[in-house]
Structure 1
Amino acid sequence: MSLALTLARPYARAAFALARQAGALPAWSAALATSARIAADPRIAALVAHPGLERAEAAGLVAPPGCDATFLQFLDVLAENDRIALLPEIAGQYEQLRAEAERVVRAKVTSAAPLSDEEKAKIEQALRRRFDADVALELAVDPELIGGAVIDAGDVVIDGSIRSKLARLETALTH
């Protein structure tokens, strides 16, 4: 496990606890996502790491406009502990905690061609039954799959692509 993920975990848990206590899980998701994008910018990262920059200024650089005071305090704590660079990892882990709490499975469906609304609904319904939870689909298109789709839902990957079937057939024929 990477050091960044390990260091980010307690901050993500703290952010989740603060957001849950305030009843603001979606607002914190948006604020963390925005701050993470800002912090990931190499120019901002260089500014935040500059020793002459005050910690409060570092927090202000990555704060999204209109965020609440508790979120600003959270960013101040990150800045004081030189953890602003961890915002992308913190945001990712926060989203995992939120999905678990809201019983939502996030699944990425990569298909060879764009899916119709009917196909999306069938996939969503099948995943709902399999995981006994709500499903949030993220759709992507990869023509290199030739046909079919690959579904990635965390620990479960279902590869129904023609490309993968051809690769398995090739392996079987060569051995």
Structure 2
Amino acid sequence: MKLNKHTVATRYAKAYYNLAEEHDCIKEAFDNMMDIRQIFGENPGLGLVLSDARLTLAQKRPIVDNLIKNFPELMQNFVLMIFDYDRMGDMELIVDEFEKLYDHKNRTILAKVTTAVPLTEAQKTRLADVFVKKLDGKKVIFDEVVDPEILGGVIIEAEHQIFDGSIRLNLETLKKQIAK
């Protein structure tokens, strides 16, 4: 049975997280993963090149060696294992899954916040304080979206839940009640 990319990425991310935990270097492992994300982000197609069947391992290996030369041994070994199993094309997905795991373990909540106008810093702080308590987290990281169609209020999507406090929803609800 062939596994999909998401399942594979999740397994590699968990394995590296557990290994970093054993070596008591979770924060360093997270920082290294973010560095890998940056490298792949600055070099679009790197994963495809490193998993291209038209290139030999001997042609790809110097690229990988250069990629990992400044990382600690644990990260070097992890990247080499990904390379050996021909999964470099999945590296960015592995990093994403590692970040999700790291955030979950550290009770960091990633939330999409939709408002009609941009939030001020004071509003973001108040919203984060309330939301972190509501979801029993330590920290909230907002991905902000401005959508004038919600008219006002705020819609927050986090941890498979939607908290809709938009004026648009309130008006729609009121309209339905009047129609009854």
TM-score normalised per structure 1: 0.78
- Shift of residue 74 of structure 1? 1.0
Report the residue type matching 1:109 in the other structure: V
CA distance in 1, matches of 2:41, 2:69: 13
8 Å CA contact 1:128–1:135 kept in 2: the answer is yes
Over 3 Å counting, the alpha-carbon distance change for 1:163 and 1:87 in structure 2 is farther
- Shift of residue 171 of structure 1? 6.7
8 Å CA contact 1:59–1:84 kept in 2: the answer is no
* 2:28 pairs with 1:53: no
Aligned match for 1:115, one of 95, 114, 119: 119
- Aligned twin of 1:19: 20
Q: Percent identity?
A: 20
8 Å CA contact 2:51–2:87 kept in 1: the answer is no
Task: For residues 94-132 of structure 1, give each alpha carbon's deviation from its aligned partner in whole angstroms, at most 9, with x where no partner exists.
Answer: 112112221222222222211122211221111122122
- Aligned twin of 1:130: 134
Per mean C-alpha deviation after superposition, the further-off stretch among 9-18 and 19-28 is 19-28
Q: Structure 2: any 5+ residue segments left out of the alignment?
A: none
Per mean C-alpha deviation after superposition, the further-off stretch among 15-24 and 88-97 is 15-24
Structure 2 counterpart SS, 1:159: strand
* 2:161 pairs with 1:140: no
Q: Structure 1: any 5+ residue segments left out of the alignment?
A: none
- Aligned twin of 1:34: 38
Per mean C-alpha deviation after superposition, the further-off stretch among 5-14 and 63-72 is 63-72
Task: For residues 44-68 of structure 1, give each alpha carbon's deviation from its aligned partner in whole angstroms, at most 9, with x where no partner exists.
Answer: 244223222325345347x367322
8 Å CA contact 1:127–1:135 kept in 2: the answer is no
Over 3 Å counting, the alpha-carbon distance change for 1:93 and 1:171 in structure 2 is farther
Task: For residues 128-158 of structure 1, give each alpha carbon's deviation from its aligned partner in whole angstroms, at most 9, with x where no partner exists.
Answer: 2212221222242323333222212122221
8 Å CA contact 2:152–2:166 kept in 1: the answer is yes
Aligned residues: 171
- Aligned twin of 1:97: 101
TM-score normalised per structure 2: 0.76
Give the superposed CA RMSD.
Answer: 2.9
Structure 1 counterpart SS, 2:76: helix
- Aligned twin of 2:167: 162
- Aligned twin of 2:11: 10
